[in-house]
Amino acid sequence: MKLNKRSIEFLTKLSSLLEEYKVTVELTESCHGYGGFSVDGIEFTIPYYNDEFDYKSEEFIELSGRYLDANDINRLLEVA
């Protein structure tokens, strides 16, 4: 697959962030009768260390919708 320069830059930054924070990404899906599935969101699993209680944990951040962009993440940050 031949990627253009902008796509390579984006994927490089995304890969670096996922690696730095040890994040996994899962597409969430809904079942619709007779085994049909459709994507209905994305979930990020972000591991972290809880200093207050001295243990490792994970935070699950889910965004709903089939098409997502930076605005969806910004709305999530506004209520955090």
Assigned token pair, 42: 């994305």
**DSSP at 11:** H
Question: What sections of 1-80 are H helices per DSSP?
Answer: 5-21, 70-78
Q: What is the mean pLDDT of residues 31-55?
A: 87
Output the six-digit token pair for 73: 């993440």
Alpha-carbon gap, residue 28 to 76, rounded angstroms: 17
Query: At a CB cut-off of 8 Å and minimum separation 6, what does 25 contact?
Result: 18, 42, 43, 44, 45
Is residue 59 very low, low, confident or very high in pLDDT (cuts 50, 70, 90)? Answer: very high
What pLDDT is recorded for position 80?
Answer: 85
Q: 31 pLDDT exceeds 80? A: no
